[in-house]
Structure 1
Amino acid sequence: MTSASCLVQPSGSARAPRVCRAYIAVVESDVDVILSKAARGVVSRAAELADQLSQLLSVKVPELTEYEDIVTLGGASIADNIAVWGDALENGLDLTRVEAPLSFVEYARRFAREGGRISTLLRTYRYGQAGLLRAMLAEMNRLTKDPELINAATVKLSGMILSFIDRTSEQAVAAYQEERDRWVQRRLSLVNEANVRVGTTLDIAGTADELAAVGTDYFADLVAVDLLDSALLERDAEPVPGPPTLHRVAQRSVWEGCPDSVVRTGQSYICPEGSEPAQVLATGQPWRWRLDGSKPPAWLTQSPDHRAVVAEYGIHSVLVLPLQARGKTLGLAQFFRHRTAASFSDDDLLLAQEITKRTAVYIDNARRYTHERSTALTLQRSLLQRRPPEQSAVEVASRYQPAGSHAGVGGDWYDVIPLSGARVALVVGDVIGHGIHASATMGRLRMAVRTLADVDLPPDELLTHLDDVVVRLQQEESPAEDEISATCLYAVYDPVSRVCSLASAGHVPPRVVLPAVAGSAPAAAAPPDLPIGPPLGLGGLPFETVELELPEGSLLALYTDGLTEHRSRTTGDEIDVLSHALTQPATSLERVCDTVLGALLPDLPQDDVALLLARTRALDVGRVAAWDIPSDPAAVAGARRNASEQLAAWGLEECAFITELIVSELVTNAIRYGRPPVRLRLIHDRSLVCEVSDASSTAPHLRRARLFDEGGRGLMLVAQLAQRWGTRHSREGKIIWTEQDLPRR
């Protein structure tokens, strides 16, 4: 009985439904049999069929060729699909209830990890299932020629396949999305980790090393950061023509010591012209390479050492990204994989781009900071005293330590200024603030102090004039700039009287260590009873001078507050440490400086530090001669005679003639224009000093005498005969002094 005869049976016949049901049962049985046999045949040539489907997918979905690992796993997934189908159909199971093979779910996860699109995954799946369906149809056509049976089997198989595809596609999409969500979370976590770990310092090499550390911790086996030489030399320098020269500033590897890198940290190399890294530098576009059977890039194997490293460690995937910030290309970041099996994916490229973009900004900030700090430090050191001047009043040693913090170089300074009468001025100051502006302001104030010191003002008067200078500088500044403020300590030591005069404008007082008495330990370092005046720049407030009589060999320590400001200790503890360091036995002041800095600055200071140490000397009484001069012009001859005899006693007969002329002119002027008492003093120091003092505060002025003028030529003569001359005022009047270089023996 055929299906047609069943359909035309009279409707009133009771036998027709039973006959049709029986026929349907027979057909269904035949369909199950033919499907089972076809499935057995497909499974028997599963390997061949899997290979055919893989080749079909490579043609229909060419994007898969970019993912070698996915293609390999895809073949295994197809084979597992064939096994699942065959087992279900061969055993008469309902294919709509069969779960997708684990390899297919893993295939979807791997596809997500490699950055493939979900549309590509679904197309791959549809082509694969369609290929299996065609294989089943071909096998059924080989087993039977009955078109009705083939049609019925095809209808049943298509229904099951469509349901199987729908359900397993949902599983694949869920696995893909789960993996993508996990990757997005990982990406956000890594970006957040990079934000925390990269850019913590304003050091170029340190920032580059932080990028390399993050890269090797998460998705690369070797990371190298190379900067253009032009980017390291100047902040805005343009690259020189020709092949770019790169300097490796940092690299990290999963292997200790970076044996998988030929170029070492700190080395420079020339990037081959036309190579992929050179193109990345020129175009600013990233470049990616993976081992797909082709030869490695020429630049990666340009030397035997490079070829040996690639071969030994099996480098199979490379990312090269430009480091760009503010429109400038700074260098390259290179990521390599050799221990990790998977190649760099599109998502890895996006992740590396996001991290390197941020790092490039941090590196550029570090470059700008380093450039500004270097400029400020160069300016600072050029304005500081490079070596102490020759003088006999004190033995000096000094140190300047720039700040190690992000604040930058400040405005600390020190100075040693020789004064008339064998005296010396010791100066320490601090401009509030940091950077080039603070350094420049420091230079202006230092020159102002030197100019005022030449006038030989007492310390309190000098600070008053310096305060006026700072006020005027504030008035010249624009409203947008920070207000200028500074502190200063000015001290004058006289080796003849052994008196030290000090005044402070908001500055920390010095420490004084008196020499040890025979058989006893050195006295503790103590500050003098010095009133601390207001900082410079307030205007109109007074300063006070304090005088100390210091025994020969006393130690004066002048410093800025950066020396005693440390986060781990209180100010009182710092002062105790300083006092202890100053009283330690040492062979020289240089050793004392090292001891002080070693005790107080174990690491880079948070603020600039200026330290000036001075050990006092006393001028022997035999090198000083003084006479009171009567207020009588006849006394000039006696003054000349006394001076000549004293020079003979010192063995300076060669200076007698000029000295007599100078003494004659200065004493005559003091008697004629000054007020008694008049006093003459000679000092035999590094030079021959002649001083004439009187009680008048009126200072003489050098002028050009006219042809018929009876006077006005004496001071001109003195200026011509002496190497240096000048006037200084005191509370008792004024002193006219001259200096003559001693004859060379």
Structure 2
Amino acid sequence: MSDPETELQGIAVLLAERHAELTDGLVRAFGDRIPELPRDPVLVDLLHGSAGSNLESLAHLLRGHMPASDVRAPAAAVEYARRLAQRGTSPSALLRAYRLGQQLILAWAVEEIAARVPDPLLALQTSNLLTQTSFEYVDAVSEDVIGAYQSERERWLANRSAVQRETVEALLRDERLDVAAAESSLGYRLRQHHLGLVLWTAPGDSDLATVERVVGAIADRVGAGHPLFVPRDRETAWAWLPIGRTGEVDLPDATAALADVLADGGGRVSVAIGSPAAGEPGFRVTHQGAVAAQEVAQLGQHRPGRVITYDDPTVRAAALLARDLPTTRRMVRTALGDLADDTDSAARLRETLLAFVEERESYVATAVRVHLHKNTVKYRVDRAVEARGKPLGDERLDLELALIACKWLAPEVLARAGG
């Protein structure tokens, strides 16, 4: 009497016999349903080798020639993953290929089992065993190929970026360079408008491939050309977006759109944006603004996945205030009194008072901005003035600067309990 293992071995033999036909079918399906995979002949040949070698290994596993614990990605599959890493293809496309391949092979095999095994219970048991074994195979192999992808991507970026980093650092030091030679080294045109970015992840959350994909998505959202991407370390990268001869970009709209891009990336990448600037000097200026905005975000311990832009006047003010934190702390305490306390209630009052000041002391405009009733705004403003201990008009400039410092640099400038 037959059993599921014996029937599955028969399917494995059939899989080996129809290996070439099935491989061709998989490659066609990948091309039709995963447009992110490269279409040039060299990469398609590598994909063919990867798919074919995976089918051979799966057949060996189904025939019991090796235990599931010994499954490793075939060399051709690892090479294909490495080549995708060099091309910058998303690893999600690679994983989709494995999931799609498993789906198609399971569908083919289940049909063969139904045709070859007349006993419905035995056919079901054989199909279940096939599904379990195929999942074990794909799980093991996908771990290997994604590991190979990530290692190759980091190595490739490091090698490619070495010359770029030297050129970028020379430009940022304002050294005299041959512009044409610099553009050739960077693969990026300097004689246009630029938008500088600094991107970073949380400590220990190093994934430059994800960061680079975020840069590409940002470039698409703002309608920029191919960006210049320069990794700084395992958690930080610099980037420049080419925005043409006019430098026209709607930063408020772009910033709102970027929030969606960062959410799509899992909320792990933070972005600081400089102001658009032109030419070789602008390459430096927009980067310096992005660096200053990043410093504000990091001092303020803002949550990951946020966008901060130097084009915001309050960010520029906070960047200046961050250069002398001891003086800023004293100014905040003097200007705000008890309103500078590090409490949730004080934070709510500061937020409402800053909006009130920026809206030219209009209760109606402030209510619309902070989504509160006008009477609630008036109550909070009155309480904030009381906590401050002096009228709203006294030392008005210091008041506004102190509120800005608290908004962006809160952990560094607030008064904590006990001093």
TM-score interval, smaller chain: 0.3 to 0.5
Higher-Rg member (1/2)? 1
User: More helix by proportion, 1 or 2?
Assistant: 2
Higher relative contact order (CA 8 A, sep 6+): 2
* TM-score, normalising length: structure 1: 0.26
* TM-score, normalising length: structure 2: 0.43
User: More strand by proportion, 1 or 2?
Assistant: 1
